[in-house]
Amino acid sequence: MPYEEIRGAFEQQARQLLDAVVAAALAEVGGKVHVDRELVEEQAAAALTEAAKNADLLVVGTRGLGGFKELLLGSVSHQCVLHAPCPVVVIR
């Protein structure tokens, strides 16, 4: 399969996952928040801190899929706390 086909299929799956996760989160809060959706090809911490340049607040989770489960903060949330240009809330 050519690279562009693989990339396109991967992007389509990523968008579907993003839409499903956002829909589930909005259902929990009754849809009372505004969510901007953007799919990027970049390291997570770099993408989040870049996206936060015009934000009032950046909200991240405590841990992702890393192997150090005993850590209170994951590497992405830690980098966001250190480098985000706005206040950061870390949700457990």
Average pLDDT of span 28-42: 85
Q: What spatial distance separates the first Cα and last Cα of the chain, rounded to whole Å?
A: 40
91 and 48 part of one domain: yes
Query: Which range of residues forms the domain containing residue 57?
Result: 40-92
How many structural domains are present in the chain? 2
44 and 31 part of one domain: no
9 and 54 part of one domain: no
Average pLDDT of span 19-33: 88
31 and 48 part of one domain: no
Q: CB-hemisphere CA count at 13 Å for 26?
A: 13
33 and 18 part of one domain: yes
Average pLDDT of span 42-70: 82
pLDDT at 9: 94
User: Is the pLDDT at 31 greater than 90, yes or no?
Assistant: no
**DSSP structural state of residue 58:** E
Percent above pLDDT 70 for the chain: 88
